[in-house]
C-alpha cells in the first residue's frame, strides 16, 4: 500500500524531491542530520552493521538497519570549537542516499 501524501512529513517530501531529480542517482550525497561534506569525511571509518540489528530501518526503502552502511561520525573541528561536537554511530542508506539514524556515543 502506497502512503498517502498526508502521511508523509514535509521534510520527507522535500527529501524525495531531491532524491528523484534526474541527476540524483549520479551523486553520492547523504542528506540528513549532518552536512554531507562532514559525513563524507567519515566514510573511511566503517562500523560492523551486525551490531545495529535492532535499530531504525530506512524510512524510504525500508532496508533493515543491519543492511545499512554504519560509520563512526565525528563532528569537524569547528563544531568542537563551538562546543557543539558529537561522536557516534551514523547509519546511511546507500540506495536512498540519506542519513537514517545517529546514536551519540560522546555528546558535546
- Output the pLDDT for position 29: 64
Angle at 9 between CA 12 and CA 20, to 5 degrees: 25
Strand order through the sheet with 87-93? 69-74, 87-93, 98-106
- Output the pLDDT for position 30: 79
- pTM for this entry: 0.72
Q: How do residues 27-67 score in pLDDT, each as one tens digit? A: 556 788 899 999 999 999 999 999 998 999 999 999 999 99
* Mean residue pLDDT across the chain: 83
Taking 60 as the threshold, does the pLDDT of residue 2 lie above it? Answer: no
Amino acid at each position: 500500500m502506497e502512503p498517502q501524501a498526508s502521511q508523509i512529513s514535509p521534510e520527507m517530501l522535500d527529501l524525495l524531491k531531491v532524491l528523484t531529480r534526474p541527476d540524483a542517482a549520479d551523486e553520492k550525497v547523504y542528506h540528513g542530520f549532518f552536512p554531507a561534506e562532514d559525513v563524507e569525511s567519515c566514510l573511511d571509518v566503517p562500523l560492523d552493521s551486525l551490531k545495529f540489528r535492532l535499530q531504525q530501518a530506512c524510512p524510504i526503502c525500508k532496508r533493515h538497519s543491519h543492511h545499512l552502511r554504519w560509520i563512526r561520525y565525528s563532528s569537524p573541528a569547528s563544531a568542537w570549537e563551538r562546543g557543539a561536537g558529537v561522536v557516534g554511530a551514523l547509519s546511511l542508506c546507500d540506495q536512498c542516499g540519506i542519513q537514517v539514524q545517529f546514536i551519540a556515543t560522546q555528546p558535546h
